[in-house]
Amino acid sequence: MLIPVLVLLVMVCVHVAAWHHAATVATSVAARVAWAEAHYGAVPGEGERRAVELADDLDATLAAPVRVHRSASTVRAEVAIAIPALMPGFPSTVWRQATAARERVVPPGQR
């Protein structure tokens, strides 16, 4: 009776660790995407390209396309990272978002 409980406890610990790692990666990727898209003169799609590169570098899998929302003053990036399915009933995706202020040129007379 004790062995199945111990195995279950170990599996839960491993899944929590995998979830935490995926959450950290998703936060990092979202921040990098927002930063890349917020630069003055940024090319549309630069953030998505950087998201794929960083996810590959960190051995993570994007669970959905990166969403980038641009406004006049901010950029918000939403990223989903897939988690390996170790146990049923636990989440298989971690969503994170990051926001960055858009860079813009302000003429000296308008500062």
Q: What is the pLDDT of residues 31-64, one digit of tens each?
A: 999 999 888 888 888 888 889 999 999 888 999 9
Q: What is the mean pLDDT of residues 52-80?
A: 91
Whether the predicted model's global pTM rises above the 0.75 cut: yes
59, 90, 63, 58: which is closest to 78 by C-alpha?
A: 63
10-36 confidence digits (pLDDT tens):
998 998 998 999 999 999 999 999 999
Q: Is 62 helix (H, G, I), strand (E, B) or coil?
A: strand
Q: Is 74 helix (H, G, I), strand (E, B) or coil?
A: strand
